[in-house]
Amino acid sequence: MDNKKLKQSIFEILKQDDRLWNEDKTELNQTLLLDLIEKIDEKVINLLLQNNETKDKYFVKIKDVFVFKTNDFKFFIEENKIDNSYTAYKNRIGLTDGKRFLKDTNDVVLNFPFKDCVLEGGQSTEEGMDTYFAYENEKTKTINGEKVTEHAGYKEKQAKRKEIFFNQVLAKDEIDRLFDDKAFVNWKRFTKDGEQEVKEIKRDADGTIKENLIIKGNNLLALHSLKKQFAGKVKLIYIDPPYNTGNDGFKYNDNFNHSTWLTFMKNRLEVAKELLRDDGVIFVQCDHHEMGYLNVLIDNVFGIGNKIQQIAVKVASASGFKAVNPGPIDVLENILFYGKNKKTIKFQKNYVVTGYHKNYNKYLDNSHKKIENWKLIPLKEKVIQHKGFQNEKDLKGKLGENYKFALQQMIETFAFENANNVVSVRDLHKPTKQVKKLQELSKKERNRFFIYEKQDGEKTYIINGGAIAFYSSKIRKIDGEFKVTELLTNFWDHISWAGIAKEGGVSLKNGKKPEKLLKQIFELNTEKGDIVLDYHLGSGTTCAVAHKMGRQYIGVEQLDYGENDSVVRLKNIINGDQTGISKSANWQDGGNFIYCELAKWNEKAKGEILSCESLDDLEKLFDTLYEKYFLNYNLKIKEFKEKVIKEDNFKALSLEEQKRMFLAMLDLNQMYVQKTEMADKKFGISEIDQKLTEEFYNGEK
């Protein structure tokens, strides 16, 4: 069979797999096909095996087993590509890394420090950060008679060493055991009585783990380790990921670009989706720098039809040095809100506290009498009379020039206390034929009330062509108190970001979120007992709020914040922290959580490399790396040790660059210990940690 016929035959076979084609099956996604072949995808291999032509061409029988000739098939596909011009992509507008659609890649971005976190070479977790911020090119000049300080931005400086940030992209053929179950160590249970030994992992009747969990370690690997126990069980995920602004951990890599950050996000969002319940939701917070790209990416992962809302959150005010920046002042961040399956999601109406609504400016007099005796009078007039004044002139004469402020306060208080009689006259929205008739009649018979009663007994009161709305409909019980409210919209300016520094007894400059923000999010779609997850945990706001609101939580964080760590915060909460939402949630104290860590291996080596303070330190460390840890199989050990590291060119590199070379030697498949290998004595994992790891994955033996 010639190549043309074979190509056509293969395409017809592959049309049975919808993943590989556009909607009308005219364009084959060859990149995805090659990725699936590389992964030995069962469905694709079976299709090729079931056809005699491709079976004879690309399989060899060894005893009773058919072995697929992967390289031969890939070579044929690559040599017989279809025209990947505009026509091939016109129906697939999306994000690319310059060569492939991100949607179709299996690359993995590993080992990013997270937002507002610092990983400094030569610094242990116990040491404090000796970091400060200084304005660059600062100038003072006079504008419109006022002195204004301008600067080109501010630069982070350190009194000791430069910061070292490390990330690496792994192509699909470099990923081997990366996502296998990992061992957990340093298990601890924290209660009001202090730190305790973990004796059991509690589960509910269907076997689901019913423990609050804080996991320290790489979040991508932690998410994959959580899959076996929590796939399809998490109700809500909230993340505040690195924003890729150039001011967080992503600024380090000179080769870093949008596609790398998006791949980093994609890797984690894909497994996060697997963890969600069918009626689960995810909230992803970001600023404007990557919002457009992130929106398209989540559309790809969750589906455009599962986008629920984009929420704009006011996080700052137009003050300080921001006011000299060009363009409108940036005071907003956005939260992208998606569901796993939008059709199954049940939403809870939410209300926010507001001030007095000025359009409720009329008073319904004689409401206790028959409707023909009802009368609308201006609310201001009613309040003035109620307070014993003859009219506004009389009020002004007795209260002085500031009477307007006092009058406004009187109106607001009176309206709240007499909400059943305070009304607003509004335009009718899409009135029915019957309502239209009454509307027209009311325009002719001025100041007369007409009633339209629905089948369910609900009544609409019409006067002068409009319908009246009662102020009482705006008053609801919020956090135990009656307040004036309105329905929650997709613009949130009701949550203050000022004064949150002390919440939970921990600090995280520029990274901490108000507890009220997470409370608002939880109230949209969760109930007590639901599982919530945050895999960019930072100082722990998500888990803190979940603890106070009675939600089960899982938090994942790679870095240790010392005295501002999430563990410290949760211990404070267990002991009765009264900051944040404690009052509104009626929080007292109590509860518990389990802390554990992914068992480090090459991650330990990474720490040792970053702690080196000179090339001599790196040279001395090399033998330890070779003898104790797992190095990349491509590394020429002898040549690097005896030649490369001695060269003047290598010595001329900065210490930062030398460390990067050493970091690149590590096998990233071996950063943490596999569960299947944790009994190996070289890893030093205790029997207790092994037992609890087994119990975590498999239930009690």
pLDDT at 119 (0 to 100): 36
pLDDT at 320 (0 to 100): 57
b or e along 616-628 (b: 16 or more beta carbons within 10 Å of the residue's beta carbon)? ebbeebbeebeee
pLDDT at 309 (0 to 100): 96
Which of 425, 451, 486 is a domain's end point?
Answer: 486
214 and 292 in a single domain? The answer is yes
pLDDT at 254 (0 to 100): 34
Phi, psi dihedral angles at 516 (to 5 degrees): -65, -30
3 state SS of 156: strand
Tell me the one-letter amino acid at 354: T
What's the average model confidence in pLDDT over 542-567? 94
Domain presence at residue 695: no
276 and 184 in a single domain? The answer is yes
Domain presence at residue 126: no
Rounded to an integer, what distance in angstroms lies between the CA atom of residue 370 and that of residue 421? 14
Domain presence at residue 79: yes
pLDDT at 646 (0 to 100): 86
- Mean pLDDT over the full length of the chain: 84
**CATH (domain of 592):** 3.40.50.150
Q: How many domains does the chain have?
A: 4
Report how far Cα 227 is from the mean position of its chain's Cα atoms: 18
What's the average model confidence in pLDDT over 447-473? 92
Tokens 């921990």 correspond to 506
Over the stretch 329-381, which tens digit does the pLDDT of each residue have? Answer: 888 999 999 999 999 998 888 999 998 999 999 999 999 999 999 999 999 99
Over the stretch 180-211, which tens digit does the pLDDT of each residue have? Answer: 999 999 999 999 999 999 999 999 999 999 99
Domain presence at residue 309: yes
379 and 296 in a single domain? The answer is no
467 and 507 in a single domain? The answer is no
pLDDT at 275 (0 to 100): 98
Phi, psi dihedral angles at 147 (to 5 degrees): -80, 130
Length reported for the chain: 701
Domain presence at residue 697: no
On whether the CB atoms of residues 82 and 29 are closer than 8 A, the answer is no
184 and 325 in a single domain? The answer is yes
564 and 658 in a single domain? The answer is no
Over the stretch 2-12, which tens digit does the pLDDT of each residue have? Answer: 777 888 888 88
Over the stretch 275-326, which tens digit does the pLDDT of each residue have? Answer: 999 999 999 999 888 888 899 999 999 999 999 999 999 998 776 555 555 6
What's the average model confidence in pLDDT over 80-84? 55
Confidence of residue 82 (pLDDT cuts 50, 70, 90): low
Q: Is the pLDDT of residue 423 over 80?
A: yes
Rounded to an integer, what distance in angstroms lies between the CA atom of residue 245 and that of residue 229? 35
On whether the CB atoms of residues 244 and 293 are closer than 8 A, the answer is no
Q: Is the pLDDT of residue 86 over 90?
A: no
432 and 567 in a single domain? The answer is no
Which of 41, 59, 93 is a domain's end point?
Answer: 93
Which of 61, 93, 125 is a domain's end point?
Answer: 93
Confidence of residue 156 (pLDDT cuts 50, 70, 90): very low
318 and 198 in a single domain? The answer is yes
What's the average model confidence in pLDDT over 19-32? 77
Over the stretch 239-254, which tens digit does the pLDDT of each residue have? Answer: 998 876 655 444 433 3
417 and 443 in a single domain? The answer is yes
Tell me the one-letter amino acid at 82: I
pTM beyond 0.85, yes or no = no
Strand runs labelled E in 34-86? 59-62, 65-68
293 and 185 in a single domain? The answer is yes
What secondary structure does DSSP assign to 615-639, as a single string?
HHHHHHHHHHHHHHSPBPTT--HHH
Domain presence at residue 147: no
Rounded to an integer, what distance in angstroms lies between the CA atom of residue 422 and that of residue 425? 10
366 and 474 in a single domain? The answer is yes
Residue 379: closest CA among 392, 364, 367, 400: 364
Rounded to an integer, what distance in angstroms lies between the CA atom of residue 554 and that of residue 532? 6
Tell me the residue range of the domain where 475 lies.
Answer: 362-486
468 and 385 in a single domain? The answer is yes
Name, of 234-248, 382-396, 535-549, the range with top average pLDDT. Answer: 535-549
What's the average model confidence in pLDDT over 611-631? 91
